[in-house]
Structure 1
C-alpha cells in the first residue's frame, strides 16, 4: 500500500518527457514535481505522462500534465484523521527530502480494510460475549437457589430457572415487570428488592410463596461509580424441607425428653445407653491427659472407635493416630514392626533400616489393639516404652525417645493372664491406669434400633438406595443377642441393604437364625373340670402340637418319650390319625 518516493523519484519543474523517459528504468510512477527549493508542485502519474507525449511529443514539459490536487502531511496520524476527505494524492513527509505518496483510491482501500478488520474483531468479541453469557446462564440455572436481578428502578431483568420450583411460576412471569406490580398482583410477598431500593443496603427476609414453599431471601445492592443504584441481586434459598426436618426433630426431642431418653453423639460413636454415656463422660475427662487407657470388651463392641474418639478429644488430635492390631502381625515380625530395625538387623532387612509404628506415632497416639496377643519378650520392651517413652530398634544399641500417648485394648481377661503368667503384671498395671469396659451389645439393647437406623442411613447413602425395615424386622433384630456385637450388626445391615430385592425388608428376608420363631400356643385347661377330663384335654393339645410339627408317629414318640404304639393309639382315640404321614 505504501509507495516510498526517494529524491530521484522527484523531477524538477520544466523537465521534458524525454528526460523523464531516460530515467524510467530507475524510477516508478507516480512522480513528484518540485522546484529548486524542494517544494512539491504536483504529481505526475503514468497515464498523464503518456498522454502528454501523445499530444506534445517528447519535447513537452511535465508541469502541464501534473496533478496539483495534493495535500502534504507531517505525520501518518494527521493523514488518517482526514477519514475520506483526502485530495487526489496525499503526500507524507519523511526525513531528508523523502516522501511517501498515497492515492485517494489506496487510502479508501486502506480505510475499508481497517473498518472490515474492526468489524470482524467486534463480531468475534460479540460471539465470545454471547457464548460467555450462555455459559453464565447455564451456571446460574444449575443452582438450586433462585437468582433474581432487577435494575435500580425495580424492573426485573433476569430470573433463573430455579424459580419454577420455588415460586411455581416460570421466569417469563417476572421478567419485564416491575417489582411493585408483582407485589400488587400477590405473586411476591414482602419484596426484598423494594427494601433494598429503599435502604440501599443488604436486606434479608423469610417468605412463603403461594405454593407453600418457605424461603430465605437475601438482596444486595450494586452501585455505579457515582453512587447511583444500578442493580439489585436477590438470592432465594428454599428452606421448606429444612423447616419440616426441624419440626420433626423438635417432635422427636419432645418425645425423648418425655421418656427421659438421652442420645449422645461423639465423633463416630452414637449411643443412648446409660452405661455408654457414663463411659463417654469418663473419656471426656481423661482424653486431654496423657494417662494410659486400657479398653476392655468383647470383639466388635467398638473399642477402636472409642480409641479414635480419645485421640480426637485430646491435644494430639492433629497428629498421627497409629493403630496396631497385635493379633494380626506374625510373632516373628511383631518386634520389628513395632520398634523398627537397624540396617542389617536380619537377613532381608533394608540397609538403611526402617522406622517402626512407634516412631510413626511420635507426637500422636499409639493404639495397641488386642494387646493380650503380644509375646512376653515383646512385652518387656513395651514396658520400657510405656514407663519412660524410650525404645531401641531391633539390632540397635541407641535408645530413642518418643512423645506418644498409649491406648490399648483387649477382648481377653488380662488379670487371668497375669495369674497364669501369660501377661506381665508390671505392664498390666502400667496400661491399666484408666480402665474402660465397654459392655456387649446384648447388655445395651436400648440402642440397637438407634444403631440400626444409623447404619441403614449410612449404607443407603453410600449405595444410593432407599431400603427400610418393617417394625417386625426391628423387633427381631432387637431381640437377637449379637455375639459379634456392633460389628456383626453393621455387617448385617450392609448385607441386607445391598442384597435385598425389595425396598422394604420383611422378616422373611432375614437370615434363618434371625427369623422370628412362631410362638407355640399355650396348653390350657378350660376352667374347673374333672381331673380325668382335664388330663385328656391337655394330652390332646400336646399331641396336636407335636403332630403339626413332626407329622410322624416315630418322631413324636421320641420327643414325647413314649413308645410309637402309644402315640398311634392315642391319635386314633382322639381322631387325629388322618394327618399322620406314617
Structure 2
C-alpha cells in the first residue's frame, strides 16, 4: 500500500497538468504542485476546502468539478483563475457498484499553452503539406518534362501512345531528328512508369569515345586496364538496376558492344571488364535514334537481332517544321522561361513569329531555344523584332521562294504525270499548312478562313504527315 501510495504521489507531483481530487460533495481530497502553481494557492489551503468556497472567494469563476457531480458525467470546459489565467479543465466522476459518486478527478491545463500547441501543430501540418506539394511539383517539373508540348495532332498522338506504353515494361524506341525532344519524351515515359521512384540513367552513345563506352556501360574491376580506377567502377547498367536506362543515339553504338548489349537484354546479366562473375540486374530500356535503323540493318551496320529486341514499341517524333501549332506554344514557353531567368519582360513581334513559322528548323526544338535565348540577350528594347529576311538568310529556310511569297501566294512542286486526285490532295494539304503559318498556328482562325471544322484541319495535317513518313 505504502509503495503504491508513494508511486501515485510521484505521478501527481510530476504531472504537467493540474490534478486535484474531490469527494461527491466537492470537498478537495488531494492536489498536486501544478494545481498549486496555476491557482496561486497552496495545497494546504486547498485540501479540506469545498470547491464552492474557493469559487465564492474568487479563486475560480466557476467549477467544472461541481458541474460533473451535478450531471453525473465527464464535463470539459474553460475556467478563469483569480490571476486571469484561462484553464481548460476536464472533470470525471468515479462511481461505486451502487452507482454512487465516490470521487471526481479533475485535470486542468493552461488554455493559452493549448492554443499555442494547436497553432504550432497546424503550422507543422501546413509545412508538411507544403513540402509534400513542393516535392510532387519538383518531381513533376524535373521529370515530367516542362518542354513536352502537345498542341499539334502529331504530338497529341505521341503523348497518347506514351501514356499507353509508359506503365508497361516494354522496350521503347524513339525515332526523330536531332533536337525533336526524344530525351524529354523518354523522361515523360519514365515518369508515368512503375519505376518512376527509381533511377533514370541517360547515356548518349555518340558522346562517349568508342574505347571508353564499354567501361562506362558495363563497368570494370580494379586493375582491368591502364588508367582505370584502382577500386574498380560499376557500369551505368548497374546504376540503373530497378530503374530505367535511356540509350540515346543507339545507332552510334559499335557492333561489338551491340552484341554485348543483346546478351544483357536477353538474360539480365552484366559482367564488368576484367570480372569473372556476372551481376543480375533488372531495368527498363528506352532507346532513341535519329538514324534509319532498318537501313542500317540492311547495310549490316546494326545487328538485326538487337533491332528487333529494342524496337518493341516504336514512337516517331515529327520534326518541328511539321508541327506549326507547337512552334508558337514552344516559342512563348521558352520566352517566358528566359524572361524569368534573366529578369526581362520581352515580347515577340508579329514579324518574328511569322519568321518562326516560315523557317524549317533543321535543328528543331534545340535550335529554336538557342535562337530565342540569343534574341532575348541581344535585343535592346522590349520587343524582339527578328525580321523574316533574317530567317531567310538562315540555312534550311523553306520560305525563301520555295512555298511562300510575300504577295500572299504560294507554290509547290508536283509530279506532272501524277493522277489529278493526288495533285489536288497535295495542293490542299500545302494550302492548309500555308494558312496555318499565316495564322501563327491558330487552328481556330485557320478553320474560319478555310471554312472547315478544326477537326478536319487536324485530320488533314495528320494524313499529310503520315504520307511524308511513308515516303521517307
TM bucket normalised to smaller: 0.5 to 0.7
- Say which of 193, 196, 212 aligns to 1:314: 193
**In 1, Cα distance between the equivalents of 2:261 and 2:315?**
20
| Map of 1:391 onto structure 2 | 270
Alignment of 1:430-445 (within 5 A): 430-445=309-324
How far apart are 1:225 and its partner, in Å?
2.0
The answer to whether the 8 Å contact 1:468/1:503 transfers is yes
How far apart are 1:315 and its partner, in Å?
1.4
Whether 1:459 and 2:320 are equivalent positions in the alignment is no
| Matched position secondary structure for 1:476 | helix
Q: 1:496 to 1:398 in 2, by over 3 A?
A: same
1:25-70 Cα deviation digits (max 9, x unpaired)? xxxxxxxxxxxxxxxxxxxxxxxxxxxxxxxxxxxxxxxxxxxxxx
Q: 1:471 to 1:400 in 2, by over 3 A?
A: same
| Matched position secondary structure for 1:294 | strand
| Map of 2:305 onto structure 1 | 426
Whether 1:408 and 2:269 are equivalent positions in the alignment is no
The answer to whether the 8 Å contact 1:381/1:391 transfers is no
Whether 1:344 and 2:223 are equivalent positions in the alignment is yes
Q: 1:437 to 1:509 in 2, by over 3 A?
A: closer
Alignment of 1:144-293 (within 5 A): 225-226=86-87, 267-268=145-146, 269-293=148-172
How far apart are 1:508 and its partner, in Å?
4.1
The answer to whether the 8 Å contact 1:376/1:422 transfers is yes
Could you tell me which runs of 5 or more consecutive residues in structure 1 were left unpaired when the two chains were aligned: 1-222, 234-264, 524-582
**In 1, Cα distance between the equivalents of 2:214 and 2:340?**
41
**TM-score computed with the length of structure 2 as normaliser:** 0.53
Q: 1:439 to 1:229 in 2, by over 3 A?
A: same
**In 2, Cα distance between the equivalents of 1:270 and 1:420?**
35
The count of residues paired between Structure 1 and Structure 2 equals 269
The answer to whether the 8 Å contact 1:500/1:509 transfers is no
Q: 1:478 to 1:520 in 2, by over 3 A?
A: closer
| Map of 2:237 onto structure 1 | 358
Whether 1:294 and 2:160 are equivalent positions in the alignment is no
The answer to whether the 8 Å contact 2:219/2:235 transfers is yes
1:413-466 Cα deviation digits (max 9, x unpaired)? 000000000000000000000101101011111111011110010100111100
| Map of 2:463 onto structure 1 | none
How far apart are 1:522 and its partner, in Å?
10
Whether 1:505 and 2:384 are equivalent positions in the alignment is yes
**In 2, Cα distance between the equivalents of 1:512 and 1:274?**
26
1:166-225 Cα deviation digits (max 9, x unpaired)? xxxxxxxxxxxxxxxxxxxxxxxxxxxxxxxxxxxxxxxxxxxxxxxxxxxxxxxxx972
The answer to whether the 8 Å contact 1:293/1:431 transfers is yes
Q: 1:317 to 1:421 in 2, by over 3 A?
A: same
Q: 1:517 to 1:438 in 2, by over 3 A?
A: closer
The answer to whether the 8 Å contact 1:341/1:355 transfers is yes
**TM-score computed with the length of structure 1 as normaliser:** 0.44
Alignment of 1:13-28 (within 5 A): none
| Matched position secondary structure for 1:271 | coil
| Map of 1:21 onto structure 2 | none
How far apart are 1:517 and its partner, in Å?
7.0
**In 1, Cα distance between the equivalents of 2:378 and 2:149?**
26
**In 2, Cα distance between the equivalents of 1:313 and 1:413?**
28
Whether 1:492 and 2:353 are equivalent positions in the alignment is no
How far apart are 1:494 and its partner, in Å?
0.9
The answer to whether the 8 Å contact 2:152/2:325 transfers is yes
**In 1, Cα distance between the equivalents of 2:353 and 2:202?**
34
How far apart are 1:266 and its partner, in Å?
5.7
| Map of 1:6 onto structure 2 | none
**In 2, Cα distance between the equivalents of 1:397 and 1:413?**
37
- Say which of 335, 343, 350 aligns to 2:214: 335
**In 1, Cα distance between the equivalents of 2:300 and 2:176?**
21
**In 2, Cα distance between the equivalents of 1:333 and 1:439?**
32
Whether 1:324 and 2:203 are equivalent positions in the alignment is yes
The answer to whether the 8 Å contact 2:238/2:270 transfers is no
| Matched position secondary structure for 1:507 | coil
Alignment of 1:466-477 (within 5 A): 466-477=345-356
Which one scores higher on RCO, CA 8 angstroms, separation ≥ 6? 2
How far apart are 1:352 and its partner, in Å?
2.0
| Map of 1:479 onto structure 2 | 358
| Matched position secondary structure for 2:306 | helix
Could you tell me which runs of 5 or more consecutive residues in structure 2 were left unpaired when the two chains were aligned: 1-83, 89-109, 120-142, 410-472
Name which one, 1 or 2, has greater alpha-carbon Rg. 1
**In 2, Cα distance between the equivalents of 1:465 and 1:348?**
48
1:350-371 Cα deviation digits (max 9, x unpaired)? 2321111111111111000000
Q: 1:435 to 1:473 in 2, by over 3 A?
A: same
- Aligned-residue CA RMSD in angstroms? 2.8
How far apart are 1:348 and its partner, in Å?
1.9
Structure 1 residue runs of 4 or more that deviate by more than 3 Å after TM superposition? 226-231, 507-523
| Map of 2:54 onto structure 1 | none
